[in-house]
Amino acid sequence: MKPVLQLFDQIMALKGFRQVTVATSYLGARTYDVSEDGVIGYDAAHRDSLLEHLQEAVENVGGVVVRQFQAEKVLVMMPVGPRLLPIKHIFGVRAGQGQWTGLSREDVRAAHMTDSVTGKALKLEKGVRFLDWSAGVAATLLTTNVPKRD
């Protein structure tokens, strides 16, 4: 299987609402919403756009970050007062030269907490769990392959 299709299949196998951000130097950065039912965006063309963006990342150079929203919530103080927000699992890959590699949770955390323009440290976002790519994919498989009792 082509690496881009393998990556796409792993992203689509994830359960629940998620946001997939793909960044390349040619196409820039774009975030794609994926519904709990696996629908990408709000237009049929968004699926093709995500595949094109993933292909650009894998063939040349780019990165992919997945934010997977959990049912579990955390209380966060916002400017408008306290709000219950879903816990987010964040994991990603680096891609280029026809292949992709899952990032470690440490690498994802470091990137998430660094301003891309200034390089300065950012404050840790509340309600975020950083995962290795393999752990993020495996967590979905563990929760979906559990036998159910009638």
Residue where the block lists tokens 């769990």 = 129
The residue with greater pLDDT, 88 or 147, is 88
Q: Residue range 8-32: average pLDDT?
A: 94
133 assigned to some structural domain: yes
150 assigned to some structural domain: no
76 assigned to some structural domain: yes
Confidence at residue 141, expressed as pLDDT on a 0 to 100 scale: 53
65 assigned to some structural domain: yes
Looking at the 3D structure of the chain, how many domains does it have? 1
135 assigned to some structural domain: yes
**Structural domain for 23, as ranges:** 3-142
CA 11/CA 140 separation, integer angstroms: 10
Residue 145 has pLDDT above 60, yes or no: no
> Tens digit of pLDDT for each residue in 100-126?
999 999 999 999 999 878 999 999 888
Confidence at residue 80, expressed as pLDDT on a 0 to 100 scale: 94
68 assigned to some structural domain: yes
> Tens digit of pLDDT for each residue in 48-62?
999 999 999 999 999
Q: Residue range 84-96: average pLDDT?
A: 95
What is the number of alpha carbons within 13 Å of residue 1 lying toward its C-beta? 8
47 assigned to some structural domain: yes
Confidence at residue 23, expressed as pLDDT on a 0 to 100 scale: 95
148 assigned to some structural domain: no
Q: Is the dihedral of CA 19, 105, 70, 116 positive or negative?
A: negative
The mean of the pLDDT values for the chain is: 90
